Amino acid sequence: MHLPSALLFIALALILVVAPLASALLAKRAKQGEQARHARYARSMLILWGMTRLAIYALSLWGQRPADVGFAPPTDPLFAYGVVFAVIALIAVASLRRTRLPGGDYSERIRLIAPMTVADWLWFVPVALSAGLCEEFLYRGYALHVVAQFTHDVWIGVVVSTAAFGLAHFYQGWRGVIGTAIFGLFFALVVVVSGSLWPCMIGHALQDLIGGAVVSRRLRELPPPAPSAPPDAPAESV
């Protein structure tokens, strides 16, 4: 296999396979606390920008540019931006009207990543902007178009990239996987119709920022998580 083809598939495998597996693994090892959140934010940005750089390089070896996978203005800006902003606004209003977060495991998982302090927000804002730019480029741009090119079916690209996007958020639990997959499907349809990632990048970043603010507010209304119980001490030998 030639280097361009190899890198194309390596980048695709990182997006479709490695990212979801890493998310599932990190979900089991996640820790509470401000320092742990900051480390998680830094790691997320490093991974996102590293994968984006690799994907752009793989495309260049294949003779393509970011514009070829949607990093270009939409064909109908009024429609594309209007639809995205309208949906984000509706979701924001619905989130604000919700009186509390879903209970159980979801609240504990989302507490691991939600910004709770000013220092958290100094990290979270660039993370949200990075997610809007990089995740849209990786999933709705690179993965969708590369899968569509090799299968000759854009809808296979939509389904595969959407499923991978949802599973990459497994650290939020199955509720998070389903929610992000629905968002991913919406953004994928916008890209297919408009030919542009730009409205989705802006909408994605806005949704993360609004969601972070709403979730942070709701979490403050909940009791703090109980500390982990220490393991039982081994019995002394007689």
Of residues 237 and 111, more confidently modeled: 111
Closest CA to 127 of 56, 41, 8, 65: 41
What angle, rounded to 10 degrees, do the helices at 173-194 and 154-167 form?
A: 150
pLDDT at residue 237 is higher than 60: no
Integer angstrom CA distances of residue 228 from 107, 108, 168, 216: 16, 13, 27, 22
Percent of the chain with pLDDT over 90: 56
For the segment 71-102, what is each residue's pLDDT rounded down to a tens digit? 999 999 999 999 999 999 998 888 777 756 66
For the segment 211-223, what is each residue's pLDDT rounded down to a tens digit? 999 888 888 776 6
How long a stretch of residues is the chain?
A: 238
Amino acid identity, residue 167?
A: L
Predicted pLDDT of residue 109: 74
pLDDT at residue 232 is higher than 80: no
Helices (H), 65-197: 77-97, 105-111, 118-130, 144-151, 154-167, 173-194
CA atoms of 218 and 216, how far apart (whole Å): 6
Please state which of the ranges 12-16, 24-28, 143-147, 148-152 shows the lowest mean pLDDT: 24-28
pTM as predicted: 0.86
For the segment 22-80, what is each residue's pLDDT rounded down to a tens digit? 776 765 666 667 788 898 899 999 999 999 999 999 999 889 999 999 999 999 999 99
The overall average pLDDT reported for the chain is 85
Predicted pLDDT of residue 97: 78
